[in-house]
Structure 1
Amino acid sequence: MRTIVEGCELQEGCPFFQKAKDMEEETEAGAFFAIYCRGPKEGDCAIKSVADELGWDVVPDNMMPNGNPIPGTGGEEGWPDEVKRRVGP
């Protein structure tokens, strides 16, 4: 029997997916997980975009799929400049 896995095809290697998969949807990160990792905005993920363009080694551990840091994680101060430019305003 075949198992169907829902969600982003990059889930195994994505730091956000691994952190947020156990968060409740009522949290901001949990809501973004439901919308981006398992929902209609999967194709708009900033994490995928950064990984494709710059490589997984520069994807910040605290980046959410919308390009913002996970609340309560200290912001984007430690993010590489090329990541900030890629997801910035």
Structure 2
Amino acid sequence: MRYRFSADGRYASREAAEYTVPSGRFVFHRIQQGTYTAAGDKLELKPEKSTRIRKMPEDPAGDYPEVPEPLETRAFTFRADLDSLHLHESGRYALVLLRAT
């Protein structure tokens, strides 16, 4: 999972899960672009484009090449330091993103 936040209030993210199954390689990617606002310890992500890809050799009927996702605003509380960003989405996920070197 990678997030890139730019100074102009835009963000881009990419989530990827890939692993080997008996009949080949499972692949899932989600790619998103949009705007963000940050104030205090609150971070809000508003996607403008969001797509996902799935390939599963054991279930090819369920595959999709690149389909749009619903554009849902997500709200987090956050804490940042020099090397990490800690995000918590109420009732959902807690993420720790480390700075890429």
Band the TM-score falls in, shorter-chain normalisation? under 0.3
Report 1 or 2 for greater relative contact order, CA contacts < 8 Å, sequence distance ≥ 6.
Answer: 1
Structure exhibiting the larger radius of gyration computed from Cα positions = 2
Q: Which has the higher helix share?
A: 1
Query: What is the TM-score when the length of structure 2 is the normalising length?
Result: 0.21
